Every structure is written in structure tokens, then in C-alpha cells.
Amino acid sequence: MLYKLDMPSLSIVMPSMNEEETIRICIEKAQSIFKKYSIEGEIIIADNSSDRTAEIAASMGAKVIGPIKGYGNAYLKGLAEAKGDYIAIADADNTYDLLELDKFLDPLMAGDADFIMGTRLKGDIKKGAMPWLHQYIGNPFLTGMLNLLFGTKISDAHCGMRAFTKEALEKMDLKTHGMELASEMIIEAAKCGLRIKEVPITYYSRRTPSKLRSFQDGWRHIRFMMLYRPLPFLFLPGAVVFVLGALITGSLLLTGNVAENRLHSFILGCMLLILGGQMISTGGYLKTYGLIRGMYPNDKGNTAKWLNYHSLEKELFAGSIILIAGILLGLKVVYTWISSGYGSLSEVKSAVISMVFAFIGLQMIFSAIVLSVMLLEVDTDW
């Protein structure tokens, strides 16, 4: 469809995969919105179907691109083609009623918001439309986590019906290729300071089986949020666990209370030391990957400083010292055992400390190696 220069325009982007039963009604509803607002519009179908979905959509005047595999990929390709002043997105399975787009367009056109989210949880969820696990556990949990980490105040982070201005889209740096694009879009909108508004909508049941995978897709969203915020997910909990382990272990060693009745506490403290070190290292991996992906544009200087080559050399050196200390302590235990004629030996304390030192030292060495390899192609001298 051609645009008139004196009229605003609307692009509606819908990903589709084998939606031949519903694609026609979705396009008809979209076209009725164009007429209602007397607005020039285009419908973009990002398709990966093996049925007649693409054929039906093209016959009704929609622009079909594809095949495109992946939910996020479909939206990235579709949004790249969108030329409208306003852009709306929704699934092509008719679970979202495109006739309700007026709730989204009115505040956008009035300049009251930059980004409009639909909310099913404050709207009307028809019977059988959403599994109870999603409605009462999964969606509220993931939405609450996103609100806590990124300072948003939304009720339904995974609602797929949204609308925003062209300018808002250009500000959001969308990159992800899977289901986590739904979370990334909100995170980017919040980071860019876009005015976000929610509107209640009706959610209908699908005619065909759902393509969602509850636990796999939920984990993808959590993993993505961990990548954006490794500090509260891993660094801080890891530091707390590590310090707690150090306090338990250190207090027992200093007071000489590593006797038979306190041995379990001593082992617990050592386990916490190892677990805390592992969590901190994993947080470092995530932070580095996020840096490489350009996910911290406002934190490049501070992040790069502690990840530069010289800092990694220091970690390698410190890890080697701790590893050597563990090995020497272990050799002392072996020497004591040999000196006793290979008989019974009561060196549990030294053996456990040796193991902890060796593990933490190796962990630091491996972390230094992995991080340096990840940063080989990155200029950290920003």
C-alpha cells in the first residue's frame, strides 16, 4: 500500500507459523482499523509456515517476508521493514483481537505515551486461553522479576500485543532472536526512558495447539535478565555465600574448634566458599558476554577497567598462588601419612582446606583464561 504524505501511517507486524485458519480474520481486522482511523497502513507477515498462511496473506494485500525461523528473528525482520509512523505487533493466531488496537493508537496519537503494552491479566482472559500455570505462577513471577530489576511497573510482561511510535522503535536496540525479545523490548524501552502505558485487553483461546514451551521459554527470559543484571543474580548472592563460608571456616580454625562435633560445620563452611566462588565467576562470564554484546553502553569505562588484560593477569597470578598453597598443604598431609607408616591419619582439617584452596585457585585460573579468550576481539581501552 502506498503512503500519503499528509496522513499518518500504521504498520502492523505479525509473525506467523502455520496459521492458515486465522490469518485471514487477523488481516481483515487490521484493515478495518486502517479504515476506522482513515489511516494509511501496511500489514507485514513474518512467516515460517509450511501451510497456506503466506499464500492467503499475500492474496489479501499483506507484505509477506520469509521464511524466517525464530520468534525474535521474525519480529526483527518484520520491524526492519516497517515504515509507519506508528507500529503495532500481535500474533497471527487471533488470540489478540486487533479490533482493540484503538486502545493502543489513541494514546500514541495523542502523544500521551511512546510505548503501549497490552495486559491480559488486568483484562479478560477467556476460558482455556491461558494455562493456570502461566496465568497465576509463571507470568506474574517473571513480570515481578523484571519490574524489580529494571524499575518498570507493568502487570503482564509477556503480552504479545503492543504498539509504539517509529521514533521509539529507533531508540530501542533490539537484538535477541528468540522468545526473550518480549522481555528485551520492555527493558530497552525502560532504558531509553520511553513513556510506557498499559491497556487491558481480551485474550482468546487458540484454534490450534500452542507453540509455547513453558519451562524452556521461561528459562530463556530468566537467562536474558541474568545477562542484563548479573550483579543481583550472581555477584551479590555469590559474595554473601563466599563471605558466610569464610566466616564459618575462619572462626572454627581460629578457635581450634574443628573437632569431631564441629566437623560438619567446618565442611559446610568450605562448601559455601566453593559455591560462592563459582557464582562470582559465573557472574563474571555473564558480565563479560554482556560487555561484548554492547549491553552496557553507559558502563563501558568501569566494566572495561576490571576486565582489561592486566586485571586478568593479576587474577591468574592470585589463582596460581592459592593453588600452590593448596598443593603444598596437600603434600604436607601426604608426607604426614607416609611418616606414620601409611596407617590411620587424622588430618581431615588440612585435607579439606587443601581441597578448597586448590579448587578456588583453579577456578580463578580458569576464569582468567576464559575471560581473556572472550575479550580477545574486544578493545577494552575505551
Q: Is residue 1 part of a domain?
A: no
The pTM assigned to this predicted structure is 0.77
Looking at residue 370, what is its pLDDT? 83
Quick: pLDDT tens for 97-107.
999 999 999 99
Last residue of a domain, one of 187, 207, 227: 227
Q: What 3-state DSSP class applies to 139? A: helix
Last residue of a domain, one of 227, 261, 276: 227
The contacts of residue 209 (CB under 8 Å, 6+ apart) are none
Residue 205 clears pLDDT 60, i.e. is over it? yes
Please give the residue range of the domain that contains residue 325. 229-374
Q: What Rg value do the Cα atoms of the chain yield, rounded?
A: 28
Looking at residue 239, what is its pLDDT? 92
Looking at residue 345, what is its pLDDT? 57
What pairs with residue 162 in β-bridges? 89, 117
Give the CATH number, domain containing residue 61: 3.90.550.10
% of the chain exceeding 70 in pLDDT: 87
Of the candidate ranges 33-47, 309-323, 334-348, the one whose mean pLDDT is the lowest:
334-348
Q: Is residue 222 part of a domain?
A: yes
Looking at residue 1, what is its pLDDT? 40
Judgement on whether residues 17 and 156 belong to the same structural domain of the protein: yes
CA distances from residue 100 to 94, 129, 264 in whole angstroms, order as listed: 12, 17, 62
Judgement on whether residues 45 and 134 belong to the same structural domain of the protein: yes
Looking at residue 8, what is its pLDDT? 67
Looking at residue 380, what is its pLDDT? 43
Judgement on whether residues 208 and 66 belong to the same structural domain of the protein: yes
Q: Is residue 379 part of a domain?
A: no
Average pLDDT of the segment spanning 327-339? 84
Residue 88 clears pLDDT 90, i.e. is over it? yes
Looking at residue 261, what is its pLDDT? 58
Quick: pLDDT tens for 256-307.
666 555 778 888 888 999 999 899 888 888 888 887 777 776 665 555 665 6
Asked if 162 and 81 count as a contact pair (C-beta separation under 8 A), the reply is no
Provide the domain count of the chain. 2
Q: Look over the chain and give the mean of its residue pLDDT values, rounded to a whole number.
A: 86
Judgement on whether residues 130 and 217 belong to the same structural domain of the protein: yes
Q: What does the alpha-carbon distance between residue 46 and residue 103 come to, in Å, rounded to a whole number?
A: 24
Of the candidate ranges 86-95, 193-202, 217-226, the one whose mean pLDDT is the lowest:
217-226
Higher pLDDT among residues 350 and 319, named by residue: 319
Strands 162-165 and 86-89: antiparallel
Last residue of a domain, one of 171, 198, 227: 227
Q: How far is CA 174 from the centre of its chain?
A: 12
Q: Is residue 2 part of a domain?
A: no
Judgement on whether residues 66 and 207 belong to the same structural domain of the protein: yes
Cis peptide leading into 67, omega within 30 of 0?
yes
Judgement on whether residues 65 and 203 belong to the same structural domain of the protein: yes
Quick: pLDDT tens for 350-373.
888 888 889 999 988 888 888 777
Q: What does the alpha-carbon distance between residue 201 and residue 44 come to, in Å, rounded to a whole number?
A: 22
Lookup: cell for 60: 489479501
Q: Is residue 301 part of a domain?
A: yes
DSSP code of 128? T
Looking at residue 170, what is its pLDDT? 95
Q: Is residue 381 part of a domain?
A: no
Judgement on whether residues 100 and 172 belong to the same structural domain of the protein: yes
Residue spans of alpha helices (H) in the chain: 23-36, 53-59, 71-81, 102-109, 132-133, 139-150, 166-171, 181-191, 214-228, 230, 236-255, 263-292, 300-306, 309-339, 348-374
Phi and psi at residue 39, in whole multiples of 5°?
-120, 145
Task: Label residue 182 exposed, middle or buried (CB < 10 Å: 0-12, 13-18, 19+).
Answer: buried
Judgement on whether residues 81 and 147 belong to the same structural domain of the protein: yes
Residue type, 208: T
Helix/strand/coil (H/E/C) assignment for every residue in 272-332: HHHHHHHHHHHHHHHHHHHHHCCCCCCCHHHHHHHCCHHHHHHHHHHHHHHHHHHHHHHHH
Judgement on whether residues 244 and 263 belong to the same structural domain of the protein: yes
CA distances from residue 173 to 44, 181, 191, 320 in whole angstroms, order as listed: 20, 11, 10, 41
Judgement on whether residues 235 and 221 belong to the same structural domain of the protein: no
Looking at residue 49, what is its pLDDT? 93
Quick: pLDDT tens for 135-190.
899 899 999 999 998 889 999 999 999 999 999 999 998 988 888 899 999 999 99
Q: Is residue 331 part of a domain?
A: yes
Judgement on whether residues 243 and 214 belong to the same structural domain of the protein: no
Closest of 281, 275, 182, 189 to residue 222, by C-alpha: 182
Average pLDDT of the segment spanning 241-258? 82
Q: What does the alpha-carbon distance between residue 313 and residue 106 come to, in Å, rounded to a whole number?
A: 57
Judgement on whether residues 179 and 209 belong to the same structural domain of the protein: yes
Q: What 3-state DSSP class applies to 232? A: helix
Q: Is residue 26 part of a domain?
A: yes
> Is residue 44 within a helix (H) or strand (E), and if so which, with residue range?
strand 40-47
